[in-house]
Amino acid sequence: MKKQLLWGSLSGTLQLIVSTVLILITIPIFIDKLGLQLYSIFSLLRLFNNVNVFLNLGLNTSLIKFVAGQGKSLQSNYDIAVSFILLFMFLIPVSALSIYYNNFIFVNLFNLDSIYITSETITLFDSIIISNCMLLLGQIFSAVLDAQQKVYLSNFALILYNLLYWGLILFSLLKFPGLTSISYSILVSTSLWFVIVIILFRKTWGTFSIINFHKYCINTARKQLSYGFKLYLSGSISFFYEPVTKILISHFIGLNEVAFFDIAVRVKNQIWNLISRLFYPIFPLVSMMSDKNSIKNLIHTVEQKTSFLIIPVIISFIFIAKSFTTIWIGEDVEIISLTMIFITSGYFCAIIVIPIYQYLMAKGHPGKTVIIQLVNVFVNSILFFTTLHWLGYYAAVVGSVGAIMSSFSLTLFYQKKYLDSLILDNFKQLRKLLLILGINLLFGLILSEFIKSDLLMLLLIPIVLFSVSIFTYRKLKIFNRAELSKFSDEDSIIFKYVDKILIAKGTSDT
């Protein structure tokens, strides 16, 4: 189990690294080849990837919960079959309507000028809709892999998908620049991913029998929809956060500002996904666990240690964001880097409470995730409109940061309510946290004063801050072997390296 958990986390991290590198390469080339406005249109059309939260009915997440608990069984076969059929029946008419009424969506939703509504734009939109259908249906098979603690296989498929998706888009930009060639790239990469996850599903699941399916399909559908509906609501509401913010920017501020916000948020998303992917294997694991005390200890340990580890990440990002943007994009550096700093820093804090959010989904409290997402949307909207007249574009930044910090606080409230625990145990740990934070800030300020080269800033600040943090972790005895052994076998290479780096000799349990 520990090995599967570890490989699931590491493979997820690798998948996001691949994706991040390709995105960082592709975006500036896209803007250079096709212009900022076409990139803004591409960004707006790709919002339909976010519409997936409206279309998945919460079935893939509920499927993980039930299959993880039931194992390979006839009832699990029923769950898989019902989830696929329900999703297919829902997707086809919705997708057909979206394609038919595309002009209405372009004009009324995205506020696009008629000059941008071309055959290429329509082709791109249609290809995104079709590829989303394959992505959603494929997630049913991917969910079964995850429920079997084979997250590394679904991550392997995602690595190939991201290589193909961004690699083909990059190739098309260099050889056949235009939205039509990008459309074909999206369709090809998604089709191949869909075939791969089906093959992996068949290899790992084995014989798939649904004998007497007609007798149990109705009850199975009721079970899936009953639990999945609350998860569906939570995901649907999340659409009204970042995607709607981009739409609000396009209506109230301007098309170019959509690109600025999208670039900053895309960096945030890649970092968020990269780190949160490490936590993803906890969800199927918690779904399988029945002892509440063990779950509490697992979540508490992960959150507490993450709060210490995330400090040098946050401070490094604050000091290098402008240098990174200058090297990467080279234009509109101030507005993009400030957006990155504020939004990404807020999400770094939110990463800490991912485990309790997963607990709410897995252990019968999906309705609470709905409330958390509602708070996100409500706070974001209120702050956006109340600050728009005097902050302009930065109202979107204020809304995003305020929303994530509000939902962070509410998630902690639920942790205290259901598991009777918080992130830190006592004021001694708080003092250690503040000390590490202060040391990182001090070193960051000193280095930023003396280093004038953007490239050196990008290289030296993270190296120095992480080195100083590791030294401080060891001196303050933040980590110990007993906690580390919960996630990795002590004879593994990874355990030995982490033990040597983070844990001082003679460290006892805290």
Summarised one tens digit per residue, pLDDT across range 211-222 is: 777 777 777 777
Residues of the chain with pLDDT > 90, as a percent, come to 10
Among 177, 75, 162, 48, residue whose Cα is nearest residue 120? 177
In three-state secondary structure terms, 497 is helix
Answer yes or no: are the C-beta atoms of 102 and 124 closer than 8 Å.
Answer: no
Residue 293's pLDDT is what?
A: 82
**How sure is the predictor about 8, in pLDDT bands with cuts at 50, 70 and 90?**
very low
Cβ neighbours of residue 450 under 8 Å, at least 6 residues apart?
none
**Which pLDDT band, with edges at 50, 70 and 90, does 278 fall under?**
low
pLDDT score recorded for residue 510: 44
By mean pLDDT, which of 43-57, 239-253, 366-380 is the weakest? Answer: 43-57
**In sequence order, which ranges of 206-241 are alpha helices (DSSP H)?**
213-238
- Stated pTM of the model: 0.64
Distance CA 195, CA 12 (A): 20
**Is 457 in contact with 451 (CB distance < 8 Å)?**
yes
Instruction: Give the C-alpha separation, 154 to 141, whole Å.
Output: 9
pLDDT at 259: 79
- Residue 51: what pLDDT? 56
Measure the CA–CA gap between 217 and 224, rounded to whole angstroms: 10
User: Which of 60-69, 149-158, 221-230 has the lowest average pLDDT?
Assistant: 221-230
CA distance 423 to 413: 11
pLDDT digits (tens, 9 = 90+) for 427-482: 888 999 999 999 999 999 999 888 888 888 888 999 999 999 988 888 888 777 66
pLDDT tier at 53, thresholds 50, 70, 90: low
Most confident of 9-23, 134-148, 346-360, 436-450: 436-450
pLDDT per position as a tens digit, 166-206: 888 888 888 888 888 889 999 999 999 999 989 988 888 87
What is the band of 1 on the pLDDT scale with cuts at 50, 70, 90?
very low
- The burial class, CB within 10 Å (0-12 / 13-18 / 19+), for 380 is buried
